[in-house]
Amino acid sequence: MSRLKILSRWGLKKTRGSAFIREDVQHKLIDYINALVPAILLLALAIVIYEFGFKPFWSNHVGINFWLRTILTAAVVLTGTRQFLEIFTPKRKGARIVGFFGFLFAMFLTFYVLPQKAAIHYTETNRFLFLKLLLYGGILLGFITEISHFVQFLYSKTVNPGILFVGSFLMLILLGAFLLKLPNATNRSITTLEAVFTATSAACVTGLTVVDTATQFTGFGQLIILLLIQVGGLGFMTLTGLLAYAVSGQSSFKTQLAFTEIMSNRKVSNIMRFIYTVVFVTVLIESIGATFLYFSLDDQLFARRIDKLFFSVFHSVSAFCNAGFSTYSYGLYQYEIRHDYNFHLILAMLVILGGMGFPIVFNLYRYLRIKAINFVHFIFKNPSRENMPNVIMLNSRLALLVNLFLLLLGFVAYIICL
């Protein structure tokens, strides 16, 4: 045998065992897992929808718990394998931390929350309600996080971002209409047109209704409307793309260009940080608003604290997203809150902040953040100060002045016309 053939066989043998081949196998295994986990979680989500839509809310079915435990265990095994394989692949540190804590949260849901929920016999308690919502909310979050990889794949292709944006709203509306048609979502069956109209109004935050949200929809139906308002206000593609970036730790240039066009932002380099800020500030303002609303309401208006909390969160999200939905038949003119002016004032502030647009809200947030940091430094006698030259930009100042003028003009005109 010639020396050339011997060297060729030796090189082929070495190549087969090389790091390049091993990395290729690892990437293929990760790709297979990325395809399997969403499919498995889709089965879990289908079981959740079936229970919420067709079974009594306070039920605790043995069969449903068994299948959820089986499916979630498989998902935990696959995600754990993926975490192990990703140790040997380059990845951003922040994404590794998010993935690791996501894996721990999945284990927590599977091996603690689900068994605790299954062991409860008397279900009409706040503990059962908390465990059930935590478990099912975790399944929904996990599914959205996993399909975010597919969304990132769509962004990387030469698909018009505008088509993706409109398509995501269409998908959200159809999904919302399907959920609103479930038997447990309504107290009385509604037509398909009414379900589609309500889902469209909630996702597009218009506030138009053809049925009474307070009496027509159950708590489950109102929760669906709340989610449609929140996802529609932020944008479905924005949320899934953000989760994809948080989990994978990277985004292609095409993905960033797509986000730049969707978010109407001129800068490509910091677009992902901008989206993070959008979501964070939105959730922060809505949380603060819900907290103030909660403490401004009388406890006697609600049978349980969880009902009061849901009422506060619903109206905070609806107000900041300018959706106009209420869980009262007469809205703010409902007898119970008609003269609760603290409640009205908080809602008015949320409506004004949400209506001005995020660039202006972000300017105000940045200004207040710098003020708070400097105040903390002053308290602890730290000489360093954060400068804030022209933090509030000219267009923000102009928008604030115009809003103030219009509000005062409307107030004075209303007083004169009384």
Instruction: DSSP for 74-108, please give it.
Output: HHHHHHHHHHHHGGGS---HHHHHHHHHHHHHHHH
Any idea which residue has 């005109």 for tokens? 413
**All structural domains of the chain with their residue ranges:** 15-150, 362-417
Amino acid 403 reads N
Per-residue pLDDT in tens (0 to 9) along the chain, 418 residues: 555 444 445 444 444 444 544 567 777 888 788 888 888 999 999 999 999 889 888 888 899 999 999 999 999 999 999 888 888 777 777 777 878 888 999 999 999 999 999 999 888 888 898 899 899 999 988 888 887 766 665 655 555 666 766 777 888 899 999 999 999 999 988 999 999 999 999 998 888 889 999 999 998 999 999 999 988 887 655 655 555 555 555 555 455 555 555 545 555 455 566 677 778 888 889 999 999 999 999 888 888 888 899 999 999 999 998 888 999 988 888 888 888 889 999 999 999 888 887 777 777 877 888 888 877 877 877 777 666 666 677 777 888 888 889 889 988 998 888 7
d(CA 391, CA 208): 37
360 CA to centre of own chain: 22
pLDDT of residue 78: 92
Which uninterrupted H or E stretch holds 131? helix 126-156
Could you name the CATH architecture of 15-150?
Up-down Bundle (1.20)
Cβ atoms of residues 40 and 71 within 8 Å: yes
d(CA 307, CA 288): 18
Q: What is the DSSP letter of 334?
A: S
355 CA to centre of own chain: 20
Geometric angle at alpha carbon 403, from 401 and 406, rounded to 5°? 110
- As beta bridge partners, residue 217 has 186
pLDDT of residue 404: 87
pTM of the model: 0.80
- Return the C-alpha torsion angle 286, 288, 291, 297, nearest 10: -80
d(CA 363, CA 366): 5
Geometric angle at alpha carbon 18, from 12 and 24, rounded to 5°? 105
Structure tokens given for 166: 């409109």
Distances in Å between the Cα of 65 and the Cα atoms of 44, 58, 116, 122 are 10, 14, 11, 16
pLDDT of residue 14: 47
pLDDT of residue 43: 94
104 CA to centre of own chain: 20
Cβ atoms of residues 64 and 51 within 8 Å: yes
pLDDT of residue 225: 94
Structure tokens given for 414: 């209303």
pLDDT of residue 10: 44
- Phi and psi, residue 186, nearest 5°: -130, 155
